[in-house]
Each structure stands twice: as structure tokens, then as C-alpha cells.
Amino acid sequence: MRQVVLEIADIKVFRNKRQTLKIENLSISAGEIVAIIGPNGAGKSTLLQLINMHLSYKTGKMVLFGEDVAGADKQSLRRRSSMVFQETMLLDDTVFNNVALALRFRGLPEREIKEKVTKALADFHCAHLTTRMAGNLSGGEAQRVCLARALVYEPELLLLDEPFAALDSPTRNTLLAELRLVAIARGTTVMLVSHNFNDVLYFAERAVVLQEGCIVQDDTPEVILRRPVNAIIASLIEMDNVLPCQVEKQGDDILVQLANGVYFPWTGQKWQGATVCCLPGDALYIFDEQLVYQYNSLMAMEGIVSQVVPGIGMYRIMVETQGLSLTMRVPREQVTSRVAIGMQLKIAFNPGDVQLV
Ligand SMILES: Nc1ncnc2c1ncn2[C@@H]1O[C@H](COP(=O)(O)OP(=O)(O)OP(=O)(O)O)[C@@H](O)[C@H]1O
């Protein structure tokens, strides 16, 4: 069993006398790569600041590296973790000296410092920047240096508060990939706050979803992508179809009715109080007889194509079906050969792919 790095129980954090965080239970194991997601103001940065012991709490308990934070020497605990922000906050000094700083604080001999700084800069492909002044770096270079600075003393826990938000997408992807490799190789536990769900899907094996200071979902990014816990989280992860619906019990059956009049039987759990039907765009298909063999409870409907948006691999097609606009994601070769704006299209979905919230 993996060692537990962080355990939070029943903690409430107040800022300006207002409760901004209420975590009933959160446990992170060594080596986990976890994303923290949630709408603006949900408390993501507050959670990282709490874990970094920059915020106090009145109730509850936080155990970090096996020690109860309340009675611990915070300075020595803090030395076992590291935090990176969107703002690089590098000192007006050389790259080498910036990365070396934490090691000098720890009183390491210069020879060892040189060895570790050289390795950390090489890990993030910025050895060529060693003698440059930090103020002369590009945004991407500066963030690489920050990662080297954060990891040079081999922290057990790395806290990342949207460090790559201002970078262009190729640079962000490269840095995420490099960071992931370094973290896995070293067994570092990582908690990444991000607004970019594509980054989360790529980077993390677990995502903790915060809303109004509380954890509302804690699962793999893949499950959150397909089964968001409510309509706000569905919009946050850019669920293609978040559709108003009515759910009714009729005899032994439960029926879900969409605004376009289409209804389908519901055989899943959790339908009471549901008012929204979430359907990922890749769970809507251009109707095909083959699908009928694949799914025994397929729902089909007619619509008119209103928009075709090209994308790499998948195209997004908007289809109007009696006042209800649906978005489907279809492989490119199917679109170019079969779909054009204004044409009538029969589309279908399997109710098993629907999430009711
Ligand atoms: N220094 C502060 N003093 C008082 N309240 C604060 C402070 N920082 C944040 N808050 C409040 O705490 C709540 C949570 O803020 P936090 O920055 O943790 O959210 P977030 O999820 O990181 O948001 P975002 O996605 O916008 O960065 C918000 O209501 C915010 O106004």
C-alpha cells in the first residue's frame, strides 16, 4: 500500500470571516498525480495554500507526511514540499543562483549544489540558460526555471497553482509532459490546479472537483469527463450537451423527456430530482443500421445540420431537432463524405451514455 502524504479531515478555512473552504475528507497517497479543478472562486488556490501551511484553520485536522500540522514544526514540514505559481517570482539574479537558493538555505556544500542545479536545469531542458539573468527570460523559459527551482531539492510534494496558464499551448503541453516524466521518475506527489481540462486529462490520474469550497467529485478525469456530478461541473469540463429534461416515474418505468419531445426509458441510478441530461458529443452518432445491433436501446431522432466545425480527427456538428440544439463529435471521414449544413440527418444515442444531474 502506498504511503499517505496528505490527509485532511473536517477542515474549514475562513477568509475575511467568510467560509471559503470546507473539506470533509481528502487523502492523497505518495506518487499520485492529482488535478484540482473547479469554477472561479471555488477555493482551489485556497486549498493549495492550506496544504502549503500559509493559511490557518480552526476546526479539523491536517496530517502532512504523517505529522499532524497543528503541532508540527512547520518550517521543516514546508521543506518537504514545493509550490509553483503562474507568476514566476524569480529573483533579479542568474538562473543558476535562483535554482541554487533553496539548497544554499539548507546549507549544502557548493559542489553538491552545482551538481543538483545542473541536473535540475538539464531535467527541464534549460542548461543553456544557466548564466542568464532571470529578468531576460521568456515566459516559457522562466517557467522551466521555476520547475527546476521547485524540484531541485527533491520535494516529496509538488503544489502547482496554474503555472502554465499564460503559456502557449505547445509550450504548455511540452512542459506538462516533461514534468510528468520527472515526477513519475522521482515518485513525487503532484497536485495541479488547472482550468484547462485537456491538460488535466493528459496530466493527472485523479481529479478533485471543488465547488463553493467543497469537494463535489473525486474520480478519474475520464469519469468526470463523462459523468460530471452537476450541470455547473458539466459546463466546466465543456460537456457538449447539457440539456434540460424532465424525469417522471410512470408505473414501473422511469422516463426522461427532452425539450424536443424525445423521451427514453431510464434504467440507471440517481434520477430523482434530475433536471439536466448530459450527453458527450462523441456519444451521439450518425444513425446507422449497425448501431441497432450494437445497442439494444438506441434512441434515434431526425434533425437539420446547422453548423459543421472542423477539428483535428473529430468534427463538431450542430444539429437542430425541434427546438433543441445538439452537438455531436464525429470522425472526420464521416463528415466530409456525408454531412453538410442544411441537410436532414438521423442521429442516435445510447441512453447508457447519458448522465442525469
Ligand atoms: N486573500 C484573500 N482574502 C480574502 N478572501 C480571499 C482571498 N483570496 C481568495 N479569497 C476568496 O476565497 C474564495 C476562494 O478563492 P480562491 O482563489 O481559492 O479560488 P480559486 O478556485 O482558486 O479561484 P480562481 O479559479 O478564480 O483562481 C473566493 O471567494 C475569494 O474571493
3-state secondary structure of 92: coil
pTM over 0.90: yes
Number of domains in the chain: 2
Select from 13, 17, 45 the residue to mutate for testing ligand 1; criterion: most ligand atoms less than 8 Å from CB: 45
| Ligand 1 site, residue 187, Cβ cutoff 6 A | no
Helical packing angle, 110-123 and 139-151, nearest 10°: 130
CA of 161 to the centre of ligand 1 (A): 12
Residues 79 and 174 in one domain: yes
Which of 178, 207, 230 is the last residue before a domain boundary? Answer: 230
Residues 32 and 181 in one domain: yes
Residues 265 and 223 in one domain: no
Which of 195, 230, 265 is the last residue before a domain boundary? Answer: 230
Tell me how far apart the alpha carbons of residues 136 and 345 are, in angstroms, rounded to a whole number. 56
Indicate which atom in ligand 1 lies nearest the CA of residue 193.
22
Helical packing angle, 169-186 and 139-151, nearest 10°: 10
Residues 41 and 165 in one domain: yes
Indicate which atom in ligand 1 lies nearest the CA of residue 46.
18
> What is the residue range of 138's domain?
4-230
Lookup: cell for 187 = 515518485
Torsion, CA 182, CA 185, CA 188, CA 189, rounded to 10: 90
| Ligand 1 site, residue 42, Cβ cutoff 6 A | yes
With a cut of 80, say whether residue 291 has pLDDT above it: no
With a cut of 90, say whether residue 104 has pLDDT above it: yes
Cβ neighbours of residue 17 closer than 8 Å, sequence gap 6 or more? none
User: For ligand 1, atom 3, which residue shows the shortest CA distance?
Assistant: 15
Rounded average pLDDT over 72-95: 93
Which of 230, 249, 279 is the last residue before a domain boundary? Answer: 230
Residues 152 and 206 in one domain: yes
| Ligand 1 site, residue 16, Cβ cutoff 6 A | yes
CATH number at residue 250: 2.40.50.100
User: Containing H/E element for 64?
Assistant: strand 61-64
Indicate which atom in ligand 1 lies nearest the CA of residue 210.
21
Residues 44 and 125 in one domain: yes
Residues 59 and 169 in one domain: yes
Tell me how far apart the alpha carbons of residues 10 and 27 are, in angstroms, rounded to a whole number. 12
Rounded average pLDDT over 110-114: 97
Residues 268 and 145 in one domain: no
pLDDT 10s digits, 27-53: 999 999 999 999 999 999 999 999 999
Tell me how far apart the alpha carbons of residues 83 and 23 are, in angstroms, rounded to a whole number. 20
DSSP-assigned letter for residue 180:
H
Q: pLDDT band for position 289 (50/70/90)?
A: confident
Q: What are phi and psi of 173, to 5 degrees?
A: -60, -45
Residues 39 and 184 in one domain: yes
Residues 305 and 206 in one domain: no
With a cut of 90, say whether residue 122 has pLDDT above it: yes
CA of 337 to the centre of ligand 1 (A): 49
Q: pLDDT band for position 288 (50/70/90)?
A: confident
ipTM above threshold 0.95: yes
CATH number at residue 153: 3.40.50.300
User: For ligand 1, atom 28, which residue shows the shortest CA distance?
Assistant: 41
Residues 253 and 146 in one domain: no
User: For ligand 1, atom 26, which residue shows the shortest CA distance?
Assistant: 40
Cα angle 134-139-144, degrees, rounded to a multiple of 5:
70
Residues 247 and 223 in one domain: no
pLDDT the model gives residue 195: 93
Q: pLDDT band for position 334 (50/70/90)?
A: confident
With a cut of 80, say whether residue 296 has pLDDT above it: no
With a cut of 80, say whether residue 1 has pLDDT above it: no
